[in-house]
Structure 1
Amino acid sequence: MSKPPHLTDDPNALSTPLDELGWVNVEPNAADVVELREYLRANNGIRGLEILTPDQVDEATRVFYRDGFVVVRDVLSDDQLAFIRGGCDEVIHEILSRDANRFGNRGSHRYSFGGSSLTGHLVHRPEWSMLVDLPSVTPILTSIFGSANYISRGGGGDFCLPGAKEYQALHADMSDRREYTPPGSTHLYTFGSFHDPRGKLNYRDLPCPYVCCNFLMVDFTAFNGATRQIPGTQHSQQPIPDLNEEPEWMKLSAVCPAPAGSVLIRDVRAWHGGTPNLSDEVRAIPNAEFYAPWFREPMRHSMPYAIFDALSEHGKDVCRFIVADSNEEVKTGYRDDIGSVRPQSKRG
């Protein structure tokens, strides 16, 4: 695919300090921005947000199954946090050098790491492969899944720049299997995996099939784009509200305050979305993603064998479905459209 007309290269981005890459064509001191920033400062954040420690494995599991997510602090050492921050810094600069106007691939000033990548993931980089088997997180995942035999589907995450002044609509990261051919196309797209031919169950009736671990590179604050999570929605059969239907309390249900070095462990079925980043810092949350032992979706070979070979024994076991053969080249890099052009499925 060639570069689409809405994207313009920005070679200056490569040498621009990370936190100066935002506020493109957006005025930080505009009246509406100042008003929203102060409103978020005063009102944003989940009241009584529980933040646990890595040793609270049983409590983390309980909160996860109650709310569809849990925050655990201090899961990254200072060295690990610096390492993954460095990887994010490099990748963010490379992505933005392809998008001068900050069009984004999840809305203006808002980007998916994996969506930008040719493989759909970033586990070809050691910073991301490190996240697959952290001693502070692995026991919690084992408890959540009830087994150590869960598997990795890869890892990516997202980031939003200062100047991302719009909310991202609430959504879930998986669905029942459905097929769709766009008008004028002959290509059949398949979305999702689970399908009950009897029509009695859907993916929301299942135990948790798919967990995403988002790692906080900076403190989540009221106005720097913290993820909002709607507690207890992982099994909800109600339609997810559009932005214009969403009640105010949901827009203010951000996972903040929470410190850098924490992990936000999510059941991806729980409703969630991005919030405005009206700060002066980039908010990045690289992730590692895992399937339950009994669940599968198609997985591409996104991890080179050399990266795999450096993992722990548990890490190797977890990554056995995404590792390339030792003689197989994993083509890495970025999509020409950085993921800003996506096939559209009909909304269910």
Structure 2
Amino acid sequence: MPELPAKHLNTPVEVTPSPEEIATGHFNDANIKLFLSGMHRDGVVILKDVVNPAHLDIINEFMEEDTKNELSKENLYQNFGAENLQQGPPLTPSKYFFDDVFLNRLLFHAVNLYLGPNATWNMVTGNNALPNGVKRQPVHSDAMCNHPPAPFYVVANVYTTDASAANGSTEIWLGTHHYNTEAQTPMGPKGETHITDEYVEERKKTLPGFQPTVKKGSILFRDMRLWHAGVCNKSDATRYMIALGFSASWWHGTARFRVPADTGVYERIVHGTKNHGVTPLMVELPPEEYERLRNAHDFSDVEKMTYEGEIF
């Protein structure tokens, strides 16, 4: 097994599957050991070269046009007031729905390795870092509850272009998934919970946050408890990122992701996850309503935040 990067180097583990692993949809034992060691120590691992970059180019073209529509709207919501838009990927028409993006068997294997058997898939969303940004997000954790010390939720981030500090790759803080709500400020009216300045400044002395380089076609796999922040995209082009969320079977969240009804998407997802240890939790909406809500910045009444009401 390749050695883990020394902790003081402050760099994430990268797992590179072989052609055989990609074909079978299962990591070999050496990569399983590397993946789990990285996740438990750092809370994040990069799964390298598991998506066809050409498929991401096609999605990226759609997102560029979609951004123009979003920017034309009145009262546009920007996450944390920064130049960052909640922007879901297209599930229809079928030319935008690629199995290696939305039904990636190696990703499903990684989910079950980390969360345990019968994990649920209950989030499909994404965000867009607008070009020439000047404002960053505060350091925060998406696990806005008193969570258990065991892994209970992960997010797979799929960038549609190469991502780095140059164009606003997400800032991550290795190992901070081991903290709990003692590091967070009280939840605000929009559910935003920041990491306190005291904890951030103390952590900067040892392992500060940094922006990883993630090549198009790789997946940034992170524990939801990990501290992170959206950082300015200083380039002249938008930076898109798809986000797929998975929950441990014993974490009784109520979230559902939306799919357009009568389009075959529901059936394709059910078929594509069968026998791969992941259960999709979806709600079908009329296509017009789905399009209206695809880029919604908040969860609807039928898609509550996964951790709402959970006490362990």
TM-score exceeds 0.5: yes
Question: Is the helix fraction higher in 1 or 2?
Answer: 2
Q: Does residue 52 of the first structure (1) align with residue 15 of the second (2)?
A: yes
CA distance in 2, matches of 1:61, 1:125: 36
Aligned residues: 261
1:25-75: per-residue Cα shift (whole Å, max 9, x none)?
xxxxxxxxxxxxxxxxxxxxx744432213433312221121111111212
Of residues 59, 68, 71, the one that matches 1:96 is: 71
* Mapping of residues 123-142 of structure 1, within 5 Å: 127=96, 130=99, 131-142=101-112
- Does 2:115 correspond to 1:158? no
Cα distance, 1:106 vs structure 2: 3.5
Secondary structure in 2 aligned to 1:156?
strand
Verify the 8 A CA contact 1:124 1:302 in the aligned structure 2.
no
The 5 Å alignment of 1:154-233 reads 154-176=123-145, 202-205=146-149, 207-233=150-176
Shift of 1:229: 1.1
Unaligned runs of 5+ in 2: 1-8, 18-26, 185-194, 301-307
Are 1:219 and 1:258, in contact at CA under 8 Å, matched by a contact in 2? yes
Counterpart of 2:83?
109
Q: 1:276 to 1:291 in 2, by over 3 A?
A: same
- Contact 1:123/1:155 (8 A) holds in 2: no
Which whole-Å CA distance do the structure 1 matches of 2:93 and 2:245 have between them? Answer: 15
Which one of the candidate residues 309, 329, 334 is aligned to 2:267?
Answer: 309
Of the two, which has the highest radius of gyration? 1
In structure 1, distance between residues paired with 2:70 and 2:239:
15
Q: Specify which of 38, 41, 63 is matched with residue 66 of structure 1.
A: 41
Give the alignment's TM-score, normalised by structure 1: 0.64
What is the alpha-carbon distance in structure 2 between the residues aligned to residue 129 and residue 329 of structure 1?
22
- Mapped to 1, the partners of 2:134 and 2:66 lie a distance apart of 22
What secondary structure sits across from 2:222 in the alignment?
Answer: strand
2:143, 2:73 → 1: CA distance?
28
Q: Percent identity?
A: 22
SS of residue in 2 equivalent to 1:203: coil
1: CA distance between counterparts of 2:79 and 2:257?
Answer: 23
Per-residue deviation, residues 283-328 of structure 1 (Å, max 9, x unmatched):
111111111111132234612352021236342574542143xxx6
The answer as to 2:39 corresponding to 1:82 is no
Aligned residue identity for 1:143: L
By percentage of residues, which structure has more strand?
2
8 A Cα contact 2:173 2:208, kept in partner: no
Q: What is the letter of the counterpart of residue 217 of structure 1?
A: T
Alignment check: 8 A CA contact 1:221 1:258 kept: yes
TM-score, length-scaled by structure 2? 0.71
* 1:124 and 1:303 in contact (8 A); partners too: no
Gaps of 5+ in 1: 1-45, 115-120, 177-201
Could you tell me whether the CA contact under 8 Å between 1:57 and 1:139 is conserved in 2? Answer: no
